[in-house]
Amino acid sequence: MQHRVPAFLASVLAASMAVVAAPASATERVAYSDAAFAAAQRAGRPILVEVHAPWCPVCAAQGRMLDKLTAKGDRDLIVFRIDYDSQKPLWKKFGAQKQSTMIAFRGAKETGRIAYVSDEASMTRLLASMRG
């Protein structure tokens, strides 16, 4: 006796499997707020401030590389995203001069920064700077 799965059930099952198979980002990304940033600093968390523009190809490449480098369980890292186009006073406060700037902190201490690069070695060094 052969069993047939109804088409709608097959599509639900396929969609469920796609969700399970999709890699989960281990990195928590949030919009920047002074209160949340201060709380993460007090907690001693590794923090990455990301000056991002949606139209910037380097920003997109940085995001993909960050996902790759943190996919294996960097669960305590928090990324605060600052919009380059609409939050100029905020990114100026951090001393950024252009989009695609990433500034690393461990608690209240800045541990490194990169600007306009997305290569694996540079980003690995930046993330490692938060661990020491």
Task: Give the phi and the psi of residue 79 in degrees, each rounded to 5.
Answer: -110, 120
pLDDT at residue 61 in the model = 97
pLDDT at residue 60 in the model = 96
Is residue 65 scored above 50 in pLDDT?
yes
Q: Which two tokens stand for residue 88?
A: 């100029």
Is residue 121 scored above 90 in pLDDT?
yes
Cα-based distances in Å from 46 to 8, 29, 43, 52: 45, 12, 9, 19
Q: Domains in the chain, start-ordered, CATH in brackets? A: 25-129 (3.40.30.10)
Q: Which two tokens stand for residue 37?
A: 């940033």
Q: CA–CA separation, 123 vs 19, rounded Å?
A: 28
pLDDT at residue 76 in the model = 85
pLDDT at residue 4 in the model = 53
**Interval 37-61: pLDDT, tens:** 999 999 999 999 999 999 999 999 9
Is residue 25 scored above 80 in pLDDT?
no
Single-letter residue type at 71:
A
